[in-house]
Amino acid sequence: MSSTFVFLGGAVLALLLAGYFGQKYMPPPKPKIIGIDLGTTYSCVGVYHAVTGVIDVLEVEDRHRCIPSVVAFSDDGIVVGYKAVAQAEHNHQNTLYDAKRFIGKKFDAAELAETQKQYAFKLEADEHGMIRYVVTVNKTERRVTPEEVGSVIVGTLRSAAERNLTVPVKKVVMSVPAEFDDAQRNYTKKAASIAGLEVLRVINEPTAAALAYGLHKKTGLQNVLVVDLGGGTLDVSLLNVQGGMFLTQAMAGNNHLGGQDFNQRLLKHMTGLVKERFGQPLTDKADTQALRLQVEEAKLNLTHHLETHISLNLHSLGGKLLRESISRSLFEDLNYDLFKKALQPIDKVLQATELSRDEVDEIVLVGGSTRIPKVRELIRDYFGKKPNTAIDPELAVVSGVSIQAGIIGGMWPLTVSAVELPTRVRKIHVH
Ligand SMILES: *[C@@H]1O[C@H](CO)[C@@H](O)[C@H](O)[C@H]1NC(C)=O
Ligand SMILES: *[C@@H]1O[C@H](CO)[C@@H](O)[C@H](O)[C@H]1NC(C)=O
Ligand SMILES: *[C@@H]1O[C@H](CO)[C@@H](O)[C@H](O)[C@H]1NC(C)=O
Ligand SMILES: *[C@@H]1O[C@H](CO)[C@@H](O)[C@H](O)[C@H]1NC(C)=O
């Protein structure tokens, strides 16, 4: 009798030890579920690695991790990302972007006409008012839905993940803007299913950003404010987070405020200088485009330096050299009113939730434009506390969906849960 016990005990011990050593010395299981941030301007894919807890945002194209959400159709075939951007100049009408603005959304004739003005590609509405792109390839017209454009991007991200993991990938967690309704969420899932992926869950982008900072693990009720300032839009959300549950309490935003507006101010300053210095306005398209690129670069540079410069030969003005140093404080002066405007939606969500500034426990910054030191400073001063900035603001959402993918996949040591509660709050628009 007792010898049986000893035998069993030994077997159990052996199993336990095998498990222990296995965990320690065997390669950890490969991620089976990927996380995708299908963004308006950029899209990225990430995975969560069991045991180490490392989140990898994967390289997709030529050492770039995130790729532009652009798909181009041509007689040679379909290209995506940076390749699509590179050929855009020669193929405007068939270079498609902003699919996220159209996906799962109905447009009436007036909205469609107004929207069409902003784009070089052709749009039309089907009998239900759903938008389709119209491209002409191989001399024939072809209709392309926003979810098909999305599927080409998702397919590219999926292939990148399969290359990296060296296993087939069939499952995904995706993020969408908090304001997306059921139809927009459904069509986003459709984009993934066309690309051969099963969508296990769709989570809100602000929730993903909060997950990236591990805010689901904090005890007690947390009021988390997520500020997402990108190239063209600002979105602010207030979330309640408790015990791994997320509830969106309020949303506000400005659809016409972002990095492009800040560039525009500096560009205007520079074209003013050209007129003043050379007595002629800058009207040449190629020179203006070259200046626009330098302006963008100068803006990025001023995030890390107090001064940078712009230097450019203006071909349309007989090759005259435009050289000017640009200080961070000049850039801030040119944009001060716009930076201040970014605080308006924050006011709105606090009013809507009847919270005071000091009741906000955590502030999370998302989107490239939140790198601008003055933007950070204004937000910090508004709340009297430092926002979370440790994660690259352009990778916070993809990092969060990757963590959610890891949680759903039961990837040790992610034993916590993270669940979003449905909400009916509506976004408040600020202009
Ligand atoms: C146009 O035709 C060529 C030759 O058949 C083909 O390789 C290419 O993929 C087509 N383009 C598109 C966008 O389908
Ligand atoms: C996968 O991606 C990670 C993170 O970028 C990188 O370190 C690793 O070398 C990649 N592996 C392969 C096989 O490409
Ligand atoms: C979204 O998809 C679900 C499940 O497939 C379906 O029940 C629902 O009616 C769809 N909603 C819309 C608005 O398309
Ligand atoms: C940014 O500005 C600094 C200082 O002027 C300079 O050393 C650096 O090369 C610039 N970087 C870029 C990317 O323009």
Question: Is residue 235 within 8 Å of 177, Cβ to Cβ?
Answer: yes
pLDDT for 1 equals 42
Going by pLDDT thresholds of 50, 70 and 90, the confidence category of residue 346 is very high
Q: 398: closest CA among 32, 30, 29, 34?
A: 34
Own/partner pairs, 17-25, CB within 8 angstroms, 24+ separation: 23/51, 23/412
pLDDT for 3 equals 46
| Distance from C-alpha of 367 to C-alpha of 111, rounded to nearest angstrom | 27
Q: 81: closest CA among 135, 41, 118, 122?
A: 41
Q: How many CB atoms lie within 10 A of CB 42?
A: 22
For residue 90, give every residue at least 6 positions away whose Cβ sits within 8 Å of its Cβ, in sequence order, or none: none
Alpha helices in 237-361 (DSSP H): 259-278, 285-301, 328-341, 344-353
| Distance from C-alpha of 49 to C-alpha of 411, rounded to nearest angstrom | 7
Judged on CB neighbours under 10 Å (0-12, 13-18, 19+), 353 is middle
Q: Does residue 361 carry a catalytic annotation? A: no
Nearest CA to ligand 2 atom 11: 164
Q: What is the mean pLDDT of residues 186-192?
A: 98
Ligand 3 atom closest to the CA of 182, numbered from 1:
13
| Distance from C-alpha of 144 to C-alpha of 192, rounded to nearest angstrom | 15
Angle at CA of residue 28, ends 20 and 45, nearest 5°: 150
Of all residues in the chain, what percent carry a pLDDT higher than 90?
A: 82
pLDDT for 6 equals 47
Going by pLDDT thresholds of 50, 70 and 90, the confidence category of residue 2 is very low
| Distance from C-alpha of 399 to C-alpha of 67, rounded to nearest angstrom | 15
How is residue 256 annotated by DSSP?
A: T
* Phi, psi (degrees; rounded to nearest 5) at 402: -65, -40
| Distance from C-alpha of 4 to C-alpha of 223, rounded to nearest angstrom | 57
**100-158 confidence digits (pLDDT tens):** 999 999 999 999 999 999 999 999 999 999 999 999 999 999 999 999 999 999 999 99
Q: Indicate if the pLDDT at residue 50 is higher than 90.
A: no
| Distance from C-alpha of 42 to C-alpha of 394, rounded to nearest angstrom | 9
**143-155 confidence digits (pLDDT tens):** 999 999 999 999 9
**278-320 confidence digits (pLDDT tens):** 999 999 989 999 999 999 999 999 999 999 999 999 999 999 9
- Per DSSP, the three-state class of 287 is helix
Distance (angstroms) between ligand 2 centre and the Cα of 357 equals 42
pLDDT for 422 equals 79
Longest dimension (CA), the chain: 105
Q: What is the mean pLDDT of residues 209-223?
A: 93
| Distance from C-alpha of 276 to C-alpha of 180, rounded to nearest angstrom | 47
Q: Of 205, 287, 394, 420, which residue is the catalytic one?
A: 205
Going by pLDDT thresholds of 50, 70 and 90, the confidence category of residue 5 is very low
In this structure, are strands 245-254 and 419-420 parallel, antiparallel, or unpaired? parallel
Q: Does residue 205 carry a catalytic annotation? A: yes
Q: Indicate if the pLDDT at residue 26 is higher than 90.
A: no
Q: Indicate if the pLDDT at residue 426 is higher than 70.
A: yes
Q: 364: closest CA among 232, 259, 256, 218?
A: 218
* Per-state percent for the chain, helix, strand, coil, to nearest 5: 45, 25, 30
Q: Indicate if the pLDDT at residue 16 is higher than 70.
A: no
Ligand nearest to the CA of residue 182, numbered in listed order: 3
Residues in contact with ligand 2 (CB, 6 Å cut-off): 56, 58-59, 164
Question: Is residue 143 within 8 Å of 121, Cβ to Cβ?
Answer: no
pLDDT for 19 equals 55
Q: Indicate if the pLDDT at residue 71 is higher than 50.
A: yes
How is residue 30 annotated by DSSP?
A: P
Question: Is residue 241 within 8 Å of 219, Cβ to Cβ?
Answer: no
Q: Does residue 139 carry a catalytic annotation? A: no
Going by pLDDT thresholds of 50, 70 and 90, the confidence category of residue 24 is low
Going by pLDDT thresholds of 50, 70 and 90, the confidence category of residue 20 is low
Average pLDDT, the chain: 92
pLDDT for 8 equals 47
pTM of the prediction?
Answer: 0.89
pLDDT for 25 equals 58
Going by pLDDT thresholds of 50, 70 and 90, the confidence category of residue 409 is confident
Q: What is the mean pLDDT of residues 213-232?
A: 93
Choose between 428 and 67: higher pLDDT. 67
CA-only gyration radius of the chain, Å: 25
Distance (angstroms) between ligand 3 centre and the Cα of 199 equals 14
Nearest CA to ligand 3 atom 2: 186
> The domain 259-337: what is its CATH number?
3.90.640.10
Question: Is residue 228 within 8 Å of 206, Cβ to Cβ?
Answer: yes
Domain ranges of the chain: 259-337
**End-to-end Cα spacing for the chain:** 81
- Per DSSP, the three-state class of 252 is strand
Q: Which residues on neighbouring strands pair with residue 379, listed in sequence order?
A: none
Going by pLDDT thresholds of 50, 70 and 90, the confidence category of residue 23 is low
Q: What is the mean pLDDT of residues 183-195?
A: 98
pLDDT for 411 equals 72
Q: Identify the weakest region by mean pLDDT among 124-133, 161-170, 211-220.
A: 211-220
Q: 102: closest CA among 86, 81, 116?
A: 116
| Distance from C-alpha of 114 to C-alpha of 101, rounded to nearest angstrom | 14
Q: Does residue 392 carry a catalytic annotation? A: no
Q: Is the peptide bond before 31 cis (omega within 30 degrees of 0)?
A: no
Q: What is the mean pLDDT of residues 319-334?
A: 96
Ligand 1 atom closest to the CA of 73, numbered from 1:
13
Residues in contact with ligand 4 (CB, 6 Å cut-off): 297, 301, 305, 307-308
pLDDT for 410 equals 80
Q: Is the Cα dihedral 107, 109, 110, 112 positive or negative? A: positive
> What single string gives the DSSP state of each residue in 326-347?
EEHHHHHHHHHHHHHHTTHHHH
pLDDT for 418 equals 78
**256-288 confidence digits (pLDDT tens):** 999 999 999 999 999 999 999 999 999 998 999
